[in-house]
Amino acid sequence: MTIPNKIKQALGFLYLRMGIKQLKEVLYDIPITKIPILPSFAGIKLYGTELDVDYYTTDWDNWTEILDKVYSILQDNPWTAEKFDCDNRAEFTSSLISMIYNLNTCARVYCEVSRASDGVAKYLHWCNVVIDKNKDLYIVDMDYGGKRQKITSNVVVMGVNKYTLKNFRIG
């Protein structure tokens, strides 16, 4: 690495730290509600891992705005097989929301994606599940244009895809 690159790298990290601090100051102005998690997932019978003790969320209107902002960040960071693919993007989405908004109710969910029209399996996939303050669940797929859909069972049809939810990891 040359000297100019080291300077660019140091400035880049400084700008990143300053930018995250400013984001938190500007964006973290939403009402937060503490909720129990298990009743939210009980209706869809998903195996899950809870990593925290207390869980915090907000209403769906706030979630919609938050998810739109995170999706705009992801648009500048393209999907890259085995480097920044679905599992990394789901983790990043959850972590970014937790870091900036202090909300830890954006879980990662593992699912099988098939064609909605005929059920032919396409691939295994990681995306996100959001829990709002009413304990409603929404699937969010940042790799599919940030689309989202309310969850009422283990199988969710969203656009041309059918998601069969397998397990989740929250916290």
pLDDT tens per residue, range 89-143: 999 999 999 988 899 999 999 999 999 999 999 999 999 999 999 989 999 999 9
Please tell me the predicted confidence (pLDDT) of residue 40.
67
Please tell me the predicted confidence (pLDDT) of residue 42.
66
Same domain flag for 75 and 22: no
pLDDT greater than 70 at residue 28 = no
pLDDT tens per residue, range 35-94: 876 666 767 777 777 788 889 999 999 999 999 989 988 888 888 888 889 999 999 999
d(CA 17, CA 161): 38
Domain holding 67, by residue range, is 31-170
CATH at 140: 3.30.460.70
Same domain flag for 127 and 57: yes
Residue 103 contacts residue 55 (beta carbons within 8 Å): no
Comparing 13-22, 74-83, 146-155, the range with the smallest average pLDDT is: 13-22
pTM listed for this prediction: 0.84
* Structural domains in the chain (count): 2
Same domain flag for 40 and 14: no
Same domain flag for 98 and 150: yes
Please tell me the predicted confidence (pLDDT) of residue 141.
97
Q: Which residues contact 130 (CB under 8 A, 6 or more apart)?
A: 57, 63, 67, 105, 106, 107, 137, 138, 140, 148
Same domain flag for 106 and 124: yes
Please tell me the predicted confidence (pLDDT) of residue 26.
63
